[in-house]
Amino acid sequence: MRAPPRDPQDEAAEIVERCRRLEGGGLRTFVEDPPFVWDRAEGASIIDANGRRYTDLYGGFAVAAVGHGHPRVVAAIREQAGLLMHCPSAHPSRVRAEFLEALASIAPKGLDRILPAMSGAMANEIAIAIARTRKPAGEFITFSGSYFGRSVGTVGFAGKARYRNALGVRQQAHMVPYPYPLRMGEKSSDIAIAAIEQLIAPAGGAGDIAAIILEPIQGNGGVLIPPADLMPRLRRLCDRLDALLIVDEIQSGCGRTGRMWAVEHCGVTPDLMTVGKGIGGGMAVAAVLGRAEIMNWPADSFTSTFLTNNLNLAAATAAIGVLKDERLAERAGRLGEIAGKRLKQSLGNLRSIAELRGIGLWFGIELMDRFGRPAAEGAREAARRLRDRGVLVGRGGYDDNVVKLSPPLMIEASQLMEALDQVSEVIHEIAA
Ligand code: PLP
């Protein structure tokens, strides 16, 4: 990669100012102060506008499953750019056929139909619309802490009221507690299921249920891993209610948890599954997977101009090839185990850690203050100090007090361990 010459002092600040002058309000651009200005990225590293290199332990919001700018993805985009970029969804193309076949080859058994989308939110909107058209008067059940995107069609299902209020959207689903063992104890699944049973009882308030929609592991919720019995119990409930089980694998999929899909850990097949983020290898690709008898909308029920953009789809086909050929799910499982042990060794006994959660290459470090309260400022400060040390992490959780790690699955073990040691050091510093 060729780096353009630049004045290392000024470039980032100048870019921020140029954006600030013209950008409308509402994006996250200026939430961090100063904003982190991306310039280039390769593998598990990001180079900022001032030429400084960082280890990306957040994978660009969990997108860079195959790494940033994977050579196979880059080559596929280059080649496709010279052949065909825009191809309307009304017209099939070889590239679309290849994408559908590639995605079908890694789909859970039984989910043999695919609809393309361009964002996670769009995929979830399609899944919700399928459930709505199947049961027009049906209602939805989802869980506290859920995140399905921030479009008008999905934000009504969000756990955080702040997200809905920002867009002027009302709640669109009945909300029951997501099993949160740390806060709800060992019986957290029982509590969630009991809440649903109460809701659907004759005097419970809910009408006919069209679907239960959830993340099998919550990402925005702070890498929240429910007990293994949750999903089979929801499957049985949905069957009983003739409701669809919609599982959002946008963040938990593509090998992140050590399996291609998080649902594989519990042996449950949903009716509809949404995928996104890593599937595009860095391009805007998402999809809905489902059973043929559910994915049976009449022709011309929906479209979008760039839905089957051939650059996007060629990149996704290449990324899926990388996921399979480099066995990144297995790698995430193996490396995640070593990483988890290392974090546990260094952080396990620290009083400021409420819980250290992890599965595959996905970790949530939930912080608390000395009174046992969620420590949002601690998580913010940890992210700030880590950035100063050249390591990027995410933040989230119900109370914004979770440091989140979702590195590229191809990250070299040595780069990962070095960065994790920085994470541990910084959390120790903050606890002192
Ligand atoms: N679902 C989950 C679980 C997510 O984590 C996200 C994004 O973070 C989305 C949906 C929304 O995806 P997008 O931002 O591509 O619309």
Query: What CATH fold (topology level) applies to the domain 71-325?
Result: Aspartate Aminotransferase; domain 2 (3.40.640)
Out of 118, 125, 148, 247, mutate this one to test ligand 1's pocket (max ligand atoms within 8 Å of CB): namely 148
**Interval between CA 408 and ligand 1 midpoint (Å):** 17
- As for ligand 1, residues whose beta carbon falls within 6 Å of it are 61, 119-121, 124, 147-149, 215, 219-220, 248, 250-251, 276
Closest residue CA from atom 1 of ligand 1: 148
Pull the structure tokens for residue 43.
């593998």
Out of 28, 151, 251, 274, mutate this one to test ligand 1's pocket (max ligand atoms within 8 Å of CB): namely 251
Surface-to-core class of residue 82, CB atoms within 10 Å of its CB (0-12 exposed, 13-18 middle, 19+ buried)? exposed
Closest residue CA from atom 11 of ligand 1: 149
Ligand 1: atom nearest CA of 276 is 15
Out of 249, 277, 283, mutate this one to test ligand 1's pocket (max ligand atoms within 8 Å of CB): namely 277
**Interval between CA 219 and ligand 1 midpoint (Å):** 9
CA distance 119 to 116: 9
Ligand 1: atom nearest CA of 252 is 3
**Interval between CA 204 and ligand 1 midpoint (Å):** 31
**Interval between CA 120 and ligand 1 midpoint (Å):** 5
Q: Return all residues near 58 (Cβ < 8 A) that are at least 6 apart.
A: 392, 393, 394, 404, 405, 406, 407
Model pTM above 0.95? yes
CA distance 175 to 157: 8
Q: Are 359 and 225 in contact (CB under 8 A)?
A: yes
pLDDT for residue 9: 63
**Interval between CA 172 and ligand 1 midpoint (Å):** 17
Query: 202 φ, ψ to 5°?
Result: -50, -35
pLDDT for residue 431: 86
Domain ranges of the chain: 10-66+327-431, 71-325
pLDDT for residue 10: 75
10-66+327-431: in CATH 3.40.50.720: no
pLDDT for residue 2: 56
Q: Return all residues near 351 (Cβ < 8 A) that are at least 6 apart.
A: 370, 431
**Interval between CA 275 and ligand 1 midpoint (Å):** 9
**Interval between CA 250 and ligand 1 midpoint (Å):** 6
Could you list the pLDDT tens digit for every one of the 432 residues in the chain?
555 555 556 799 999 999 999 999 999 999 998 999 999 999 999 999 999 999 999 999 999 999 999 999 999 999 999 999 999 999 999 999 999 999 999 999 999 999 999 999 999 999 999 999 999 999 999 999 999 999 999 999 999 999 999 999 999 999 999 999 999 999 999 999 999 999 999 999 999 999 999 999 999 999 999 999 999 999 999 999 999 999 999 999 999 999 999 999 999 999 999 999 999 999 999 999 999 999 999 999 999 999 999 999 999 999 999 999 999 999 999 999 999 999 999 998 899 999 999 999 999 999 999 999 999 999 999 999 999 999 999 999 999 999 999 999 999 999 999 999 999 999 999 988
**Interval between CA 210 and ligand 1 midpoint (Å):** 22
Tell me the C-alpha to C-alpha distance, in Å, between residue 51 and each of 14, 19, 48, 119: 14, 19, 5, 30
Pull the structure tokens for residue 157.
């299902």
